Amino acid sequence: MKTVIIFIVLLLTGLPVSASENLLCNPGFEDGPVGWFGDTAIPGWNIWGTDGWHCSDSDLPVYYYHDTKSITEWWDNSGVYQDFAVVEGTAYS
């Protein structure tokens, strides 16, 4: 399950889109305070579970980061996701 979540997050954050528009809000996790899942909110992201950290430690062994902040998860009982609208039959590039 954790592998699937990691793959989906990496896939979604790597989707090419128009330079004027992002499908995801806060795709690099840069906005919002650092802290444990359950103790902090990451703008634009829904969090489940508490075995994770929104951090500025991009040297941790498991991380997904864009610039200075990252998401670290320890188990498969927590994660982050976003819901966003797409149009059927539309190619996003």
pLDDT tens, residue order, the chain (93 aa) = 555 455 555 555 555 544 457 788 998 888 999 999 999 999 999 999 999 989 886 555 554 555 688 888 888 899 999 998 889 998 887
Which residue do the tokens 């190619």 mark?
91
pLDDT given at position 3: 54
pLDDT given at position 83: 93
User: In sequence order, which ranges of the chain are alpha helices (DSSP H)?
Assistant: 2-13
* Domain residue spans of the chain: 2-81
pLDDT given at position 64: 53
Answer whether 51's CB lies under 8 Å from 74's CB.
yes
pTM over 0.75: no
Residue of 69, 80, 75 whose CA lies nearest to 51: 75
